[in-house]
Structure 1
Amino acid sequence: MTHEISSSRHTGAALIAMSALLWSTAGLVSTGLFEHVHPLTVGFWRVALAVPTLLILARAAARWRPITRRAAGLLALIGLTQAGYQGFYFLGVSELGAGRATLVALCGAPVLISVLGAAVLKDRPGRLEWAAVPVAVAGAALLIGAPAPGVEGSVLGYAAAGAAALSYAVFALTARELAGLYHPFQITAIGFAVAALTLLPLAAGAGLVPAQGWGTLAYLGLVPTALAYALFFFGMRTVTATASGVLVLLEPAGAAVLAALLLGERYGALGLVGGALLLGAVLMVNLAKR
């Protein structure tokens, strides 16, 4: 029985790691979009295009269950926090630039997940998981690149990136509550429908229908959104919130590798150290005993 539980946790960790690597492709493929499509419009279509696929998969899996009143509230919260994450993150990017905004959002999320998970969900992460959090944050910071000394960003930008981190943390904790009760396709379909409806008026104001880029938008909706989030919810069934917060930091690692291979970007010694720390944190999560 102990071996089966351990195997299940390792499988869950692998699924979350895979979802993070799929997420890492989103930034790469969307690089050219922002020249002619507003970021809010990209965010809207990313979640909106994922919804039909997730509805079809949920029906095909024959796992659609009636939604209780409490679950409806949690699903609405998933949608609102997903919309908030994208909106706040892109606002942070516009104010601080992608590096600093990503640093604050992605490195702040696991810390908030650990604190809120222990306080709200009464998670009991192991010592290795707790130790993995600062190691992963330090690794992500080195990999993304800390701002140069003396460079200051706007208060609005830092507040937006911090709000993005909080939005993701609440999203992850809410997902943990629902992961064992409903099929992942059902959770993502309903949650993303709420996110799309929330972003719709904002995207409409920014320009709802882009003249080009639909192939890229379709990829964003199907692969790093529909598929990746479904894998994430499957993994969350057996992995603690703290562990998931560390594992998703594979996203910047994957983005760094793809950028190096496809865009010719190079990373110095500190970037390599950061990547090693990040992968070490993932290993610590997988070796954790609970």
Structure 2
Amino acid sequence: MPTTTTTSPRHTAPARPIQAEAHGHARRAWAGAAALAAIGPATWGTTYVTTTELLPPDRPLLAAALRALPAGLLLLLVTRRLPRRDWWWKAAVLGMLNFGAFFPLLFYGAYHLPGGVASTISAVMPLLVAGFGIGVLKVRPTARTLLAGLVGVTGVALLVLRGDAALEPTGVLAMLLATTLMALAVVLSKRWGRPEGVSLLALTGWQLTAGGVVLAPLALAVEGLPSHFTGTNLAGYAYLGLIGTALAYALWFRGIERLPASSLSFLGLTNPITATLAGLIFLGQTLTPWQLGGLALVVAGVVLGQLASTPRKDA
């Protein structure tokens, strides 16, 4: 009579440890991508103090052109890669949203508003990304995402708005439009992705150059060049172009590839944190107890925004 062999359950490899290990790897990869992407908006938080302290006064178009075009041409020279097929117009659209239109509005706001007020307005980006995501990505925001967005906006308002803050209407409008354009750029970048075989530096260079070639002649026609550039001016432009643009945006676009749009947008709240710290360090500003509470809420908004989208362990 033939015998049958049964396999004991003890010889079956358990799935739970493997799933747990994969989940832990996914969370670590997520955290690494978020940390690198956060460098971008954290660096942008220094734009306000750099503009007011290092750049020539009242030249937002010139500042925008000199921030975008040299960095874009440098990246094109390094990568030696041009767009192909439909990426010519996609790069042009993203270049105008991220740089050609965004930069002049950003610098106008930086020239006409206190840095804290400007960064407060930009804190609405998570809510704008959530709204655009519904129409473009067909992704509905969760209640936790909306709550995190409101917490972040409230925290930034407490952090940087004071009773004596100057609110010039045109500056407020410029920053609101700039933030809206950037939110739309995040969503479109998430939808279009990156062409196969093209590096992040090349993609960044395409967009910077597209925005810069529009800004440069406009800046020369409307504002012209200063009678001379000081060493301080050149240092400010170099910092904004190399660190605050070429490097920061390459890391930001890397984050767009690896993180959900909602999660990425909350990392933008590091912008007002950096702007506040820059004011403390370079401008001798101080924080009130209300502002310290606001700083805690901003950090809470960033954390909640990441938790709302972090990969969850399977049941």
Structures share fold, TM-score greater than 0.5: yes
Contact (CA 8 Å) 2:186, 2:261: kept in 1 or not? yes
Q: How has the CA–CA distance of structure 1 residues 172 and 102 changed in structure 2, closer, same or farther, with 3 Å as cutoff? A: same
What is the DSSP-based 3-state SS (H/G/I as helix, E as strand, rest coil) of the residue aligned with 1:237? helix
Cα distance between partner residues in 2 of 1:141 and 1:103:
6
How far residue 230 of structure 1 moved from its aligned partner, in angstroms, is 0.5
Contact (CA 8 Å) 1:88, 1:164: kept in 2 or not? yes
In the alignment, which residue of structure 2 is the partner of 1:206?
223
In the alignment, which residue of structure 2 is the partner of 1:171?
185
Say which structure is richer in helix.
1
Contact (CA 8 Å) 2:159, 2:295: kept in 1 or not? yes
What code does the residue aligned with 2:25 have? E
What code does the residue aligned with 2:259 have? V
In the alignment, which residue of structure 2 is the partner of 1:233?
253
Cα distance between partner residues in 2 of 1:134 and 1:245:
13
Q: How has the CA–CA distance of structure 1 residues 254 and 93 changed in structure 2, closer, same or farther, with 3 Å as cutoff? A: closer
Cα distance between partner residues in 1 of 2:61 and 2:217:
10
Match of 2:295 among 275, 281, 287: 275
Contact (CA 8 Å) 2:61, 2:218: kept in 1 or not? yes
In the alignment, which residue of structure 2 is the partner of 1:52?
73
What code does the residue aligned with 1:85 have? F
What is the DSSP-based 3-state SS (H/G/I as helix, E as strand, rest coil) of the residue aligned with 2:46? helix
How far residue 67 of structure 1 moved from its aligned partner, in angstroms, is 2.4
**Residue by residue, what CA displacement relative to the aligned partner does 1:164-203 show, whole Å, maximum 9, x if unpaired?**
1211111222222344434221111010111111211331
In the alignment, which residue of structure 1 is the partner of 2:138?
122
Among the aligned pairs, what percent are the same residue?
27
What is the DSSP-based 3-state SS (H/G/I as helix, E as strand, rest coil) of the residue aligned with 2:138? coil
In the alignment, which residue of structure 2 is the partner of 1:9?
30
How far residue 250 of structure 1 moved from its aligned partner, in angstroms, is 0.2
Contact (CA 8 Å) 1:8, 1:238: kept in 2 or not? no
What code does the residue aligned with 2:161 have? G
Match of 1:257 among 263, 277, 285: 277
What code does the residue aligned with 1:231 have? L
Cα distance between partner residues in 1 of 2:211 and 2:163:
31
Match of 1:248 among 261, 268, 273: 268
Cα distance between partner residues in 2 of 1:257 and 1:79:
30
After TM superposition, where is structure 1 displaced by more than 6 Å over at least 4 residues in a row? Answer: none
What is the TM-score with the length of structure 1 in the denominator?
0.86
Contact (CA 8 Å) 2:130, 2:140: kept in 1 or not? no
What code does the residue aligned with 1:239 have? L
Cα distance between partner residues in 2 of 1:197 and 1:162:
24
Q: How has the CA–CA distance of structure 1 residues 147 and 201 changed in structure 2, closer, same or farther, with 3 Å as cutoff? A: farther
Q: How has the CA–CA distance of structure 1 residues 228 and 183 changed in structure 2, closer, same or farther, with 3 Å as cutoff? A: same
Contact (CA 8 Å) 1:100, 1:147: kept in 2 or not? no
Contact (CA 8 Å) 1:139, 1:277: kept in 2 or not? yes
Cα distance between partner residues in 2 of 1:239 and 1:177:
12
How far residue 157 of structure 1 moved from its aligned partner, in angstroms, is 4.0
What is the DSSP-based 3-state SS (H/G/I as helix, E as strand, rest coil) of the residue aligned with 2:294? helix
In the alignment, which residue of structure 2 is the partner of 1:75?
91
How far residue 96 of structure 1 moved from its aligned partner, in angstroms, is 5.2
Cα distance between partner residues in 2 of 1:91 and 1:54:
26
RMSD of the TM alignment (CA)? 2.6
Cα distance between partner residues in 2 of 1:101 and 1:18:
19
Q: How has the CA–CA distance of structure 1 residues 152 and 11 changed in structure 2, closer, same or farther, with 3 Å as cutoff? A: closer
